[in-house]
Amino acid sequence: MSDEEKSSSLVTSAISNLHGQYNFQSIAIVLVIMKANHEQTGWEESLLTCIAFVGAIHGQLLFGYIGDWLGRQRGLFLTNLFCVLGALGSSIFSWGDSTRIYLVIAVCRFFLGMGVGGTYPLSAVNAAEHSATTSLLDRRKRVSWSFFWQVPGSTLPFVVAYGVDKIFPENYDLQFRIVLGLGALPALIAMIYSLKVLDSKEFSSVKESTGIGIFYSLKRRDYWTKLIGTGGGWFCYDIVHYGPYLLAPVIIRQMFGRDGQEEESIDTISWQTALANLMGIPGVLICIALFKPLGIKHQQFYGFLLIASTFFAIGSLYKTASNTTLFVLFCIMTFAINSGPSVTTFVLPSETFPPEVRSTFNGLS
């Protein structure tokens, strides 16, 4: 395996993670922007918030299996293609009355979600299998560094929203289309880089020698026992992660509007949310640094305890603490969310299952 191929594989996984979170999180600020020109019912707001995750469930299962069936490189190309088409479609075709606009965005974001869902298993497996060594710690760090870019990805939509609000003030239709459409650019870059990546020798040799597929693997009880561990942790983490992240603009707006203050502007909400999300960067870096002394299982356990304590603190002090105190606690909560289970749930499936079914069971997790 050449150095260029190892580098391309890591770049592909990193960019796939970056645009995955960008495309997931962009809808949070887009809904705030669209309220200026397009009235939203509770049903429409909920649909646009959740539909990408419905697609992601399908994408994780479909593209996870494709990664084992057709190979990692083809799977990465296809899943990023879905992201390009979904992001562009939600930006380009969302015209007409408000109802039609929301419907078009919802349909496009379903297919976008399928693509983003597929990037999870494929980017993790791709990063792990192209490691320069067979050391478990080295593989773990390589997968973690590809995951690291999810944090900048979750921050970028709010940075972009802040910029377009300054450049195109009060042109809200153009603003939300730019925020949605830009999600296609890194996905396109990941597609191009995926063409430079060949399937690893580890996967290719095992696949050729065993020919074991998903249907045989589903009958193995030991795989299901492992799946309960990898999938159960990920299930719990997603509950505590996506609630605060997707509703961050709403939560922050309510924090600073409790005293009857004037509703905050789009640029204010954008920089406040971006600042809170950036607190995830030191969280991920600390998690990577603690792999060797703590181990992945202890990090996941203590990480969930830290997250629970920050949730408890915000809930307990919400009515009595100042707006600034609550915002600081929200930033600490973001740090906690990214300081343990965020990385460990992503890494564990890639090192738990054998290469012939690694992508499929990563997607199931």
Distance between start and end Cα atoms, the chain: 29
Band (235; pLDDT cuts 50, 70, 90): confident
The more confidently predicted of residues 133 and 174 is 174
- Per-residue pLDDT at 343: 86
- Per-residue pLDDT at 106: 93
Q: Which segment of 104-108, 175-179, 271-275 scores lowest on mean pLDDT?
A: 271-275
334/252 Cα distance (integer angstroms): 13
- Per-residue pLDDT at 212: 54
Band (8; pLDDT cuts 50, 70, 90): confident
Neighbours of 238 (CB within 10 A): 14
The more confidently predicted of residues 250 and 3 is 250
Mean pLDDT calculated for residue range 26-52: 87
User: Please, are residues 250 and 33 in contact by the beta-carbon 8 Å criterion?
Assistant: no
Percentage of residues of the chain with pLDDT beyond 90: 23
Percentage of residues of the chain with pLDDT beyond 70: 91
State yes or no: pLDDT of 217 exceeds 80: no
Band (57; pLDDT cuts 50, 70, 90): very high
Mean pLDDT calculated for residue range 74-90: 94
89/184 Cα distance (integer angstroms): 9
Band (132; pLDDT cuts 50, 70, 90): low
Mean pLDDT calculated for residue range 326-333: 87
- Per-residue pLDDT at 209: 60
332/283 Cα distance (integer angstroms): 10
pLDDT tens digit sequence for 136-179: 777 888 888 888 898 889 889 999 999 999 999 888 899 999 99
pLDDT tens digit sequence for 277-293: 888 889 889 888 888 88
- Per-residue pLDDT at 82: 95
Band (11; pLDDT cuts 50, 70, 90): confident
